[in-house]
Amino acid sequence: MTKALNPDPKPLDHLTLCGAADSVALIDRQGELDFAGLEAAVGALAAWLMDQGLHRGDRVASWLNKTRLACLMPLATARAGLVHVPVNPLLKRAQVGHILADSGASLLIAGKARLGSLAEGDLPSGCPAVDENQASLEGSGLPPSNGDPDDLAAILYTSGSTGSPKGVMLSHANMWLGAVSVAHYLDIRPSDRTLCLLPFSFDYGQNQLLSSWFAGASAIPLDYLLARDVTKAVGRHDVTILAGVPPLWVQLTEIEWPAEIAGNLRVLTNSGGKMPVPLVSALRTAFPKAGLHSMYGLTEAFRSTTLDPALIDTMPESIGQAIPFAEIMVVTPEGTDAAPEQAGELVHAGPLVALGYWQDPERTALRFKPAPDFSHYGGMAVWSGDTVMRDTEGYLRFVGRDDAMIKSAGNRISPSELEDAAIGSGLTAEACAFGVPDDRLGQAIMLVVRGEGGEADQALKRFLKAELPNFMQPREIIWQNELPRNPNEKLDRTEIERKWGQ
């Protein structure tokens, strides 16, 4: 990465100007689009959007696969002074209807089949639906914008696995500096090719595009059905950068990778959940030439920490240190700076902190609060609700979410500790632990794991008894061939607890 780490953000649509005009910005089913073509297409789409009778600040929802239109929407809406509301293509009509109503969308762009699935009442009054094929990416367009980087650029809705989905408000500055930060710590180069697997409704999914374009690299969107589709795409396009979440990495390590294809990959990045140590080992074995970045983030502040890939083998449980433009603090319940090896809440301050939740001041006040007195940045901070510890060298380790802690027989038990132990047995690749009411213990532990059970059930019980104290033993281990996932491909803990926590 040769560009200076400049903390001065620009309007988001200026990303079209970051690469060499004749270098490839996008590779999709329509072919290749260079940066000059990207700039022209974004301008044309922005002009088309304004021709729909929209006004500055209006919300525009897109419910699309990873088409060229979907790739351009974040920049085109920004150029037109609109607010983009990307909707996960896996969501169903009722969920989409909630997002459209909550955001006050003035336009929905989607494919014919998705539009046909909507029922009466799903489209709010004043929100027409437009077929994606009507959007124009050609013709005269709007020039690069000169808006305020602090203006609202997008509303990203959380998956809704806990309560109703919340719309996180992101400014141009949030998204621009997120692209700059990731491009720098991943050392993305103009020669790189990023395979975009994550949904564009997901903050890191969009950043696959934005950080690549800031660095002048190529982005390759892919909608895939099977893990082998990913292998083929890496080989076909000489992909060098791949981002994923733990369930996806599990799938990718369970298939065989030809050495010449695995060797293409230079950078792997994980977010959206902690990687168990066995999964780290599996990835290092499958992709020995790739630097593996273990990261921590939350939509309300985008990305918070990353671990230097050179340390992943010796510190596989660490989530690293703060990324550029992020100040990360570990705060005790008393509001003081936690000492090394003292647990506290992870608090994130700085310019990556989002603007709050859309039209939800109560929930905003619970998560977005003034930074501690010892903060360098000050201002508004995101109080994550996640418990972490910092070692004597400043590296962070995830402990668990306070609201997910299991309280059993007077003990506070981290579900992730039990899950890591189960996965560490080698008998399952995925696990979810949670508490259920128990008259004697307060809460008993349930453990749901992926696998066929049988002889493995007794083997796992023996392993856990040997590795964990009595108060951490699950009352029941439930084996399932597949576990529920939310639209961002993470384990859907709420659904797992609903199905097997009765």
- 39-65: pLDDT as tens digits: 999 999 999 999 999 999 999 999 999
pLDDT at 161: 39
Q: Decide if pLDDT at 180 tops 90.
A: yes
3-state secondary structure of 409: coil
Confidence of residue 158 (pLDDT cuts 50, 70, 90): confident
Identify whether the C-beta of residue 423 lies closer than 8 Å to the C-beta of residue 432.
Answer: no
Q: Decide if pLDDT at 3 tops 70.
A: no
pLDDT at 125: 92
Among 87-96, 202-211, 454-463, the minimum mean pLDDT is found in 87-96
Confidence of residue 159 (pLDDT cuts 50, 70, 90): low
Helix (H) or strand (E) holding 356: strand 356-357
Expressed in angstroms, the distance from the first to the final Cα of the chain is 52
Distance, CA of 407 to chain centre: 29
The alpha carbon dihedral of 226, 229, 231, 234 has a sign of negative
Average pLDDT over residues 12-35: 97
Nearest Cα neighbor of 305 from 342, 330, 276, 341 is 330
Confidence of residue 489 (pLDDT cuts 50, 70, 90): confident
Q: Which two tokens stand for residue 215?
A: 């660095």
Among 97-106, 237-246, 355-364, 399-408, the minimum mean pLDDT is found in 399-408
Residue with tokens 């998956």: 159
Q: Decide if pLDDT at 160 tops 60.
A: no
Average pLDDT over residues 425-429: 93
Percent of the chain with pLDDT over 90: 77
Percent of the chain with pLDDT over 70: 97
Identify whether the C-beta of residue 152 lies closer than 8 Å to the C-beta of residue 169.
Answer: yes
The answer for residues whose C-beta is within 8 angstroms of residue 470's C-beta and 6 or more apart is none
Identify whether the C-beta of residue 221 lies closer than 8 Å to the C-beta of residue 72.
Answer: no
Confidence of residue 246 (pLDDT cuts 50, 70, 90): confident
Whole-number Å distance between alpha carbons of 139 and 43: 9
Q: What Rg, from alpha-carbon coordinates, does the chain have? A: 23
Nearest Cα neighbor of 243 from 214, 275, 216 is 275
Residue with tokens 């809406």: 77
Domains, the chain, in order of start with CATH, read 12-170 (3.40.50.980), 224-403 (3.40.50.12780), 405-500 (3.30.300.30)
Query: What's the predicted TM-score (pTM) here?
Result: 0.85
Instruction: Please list the alpha-helical segments (H only) found in 186-305.
Output: 203-214, 227-237, 246-253, 259-262, 277-286
Q: Which tens digits make up the pLDDT trace of 282-334?
A: 999 999 999 999 999 888 999 999 999 999 999 998 999 999 999 999 999 99
pLDDT at 6: 80
Among 196-205, 320-329, 374-383, the minimum mean pLDDT is found in 196-205
Whole-number Å distance between alpha carbons of 480 and 276: 19
Identify whether the C-beta of residue 349 lies closer than 8 Å to the C-beta of residue 327.
Answer: yes
Average pLDDT over residues 443-463: 93
Whole-number Å distance between alpha carbons of 30 and 179: 25
pLDDT at 164: 64
pLDDT at 414: 78
Confidence of residue 274 (pLDDT cuts 50, 70, 90): confident
Identify whether the C-beta of residue 406 lies closer than 8 Å to the C-beta of residue 445.
Answer: yes
Confidence of residue 432 (pLDDT cuts 50, 70, 90): very high
Q: Which tens digits make up the pLDDT trace of 262-273?
A: 999 999 999 877
Average pLDDT over residues 184-191: 97
Mean pLDDT taken over the chain: 92
Confidence of residue 1 (pLDDT cuts 50, 70, 90): low
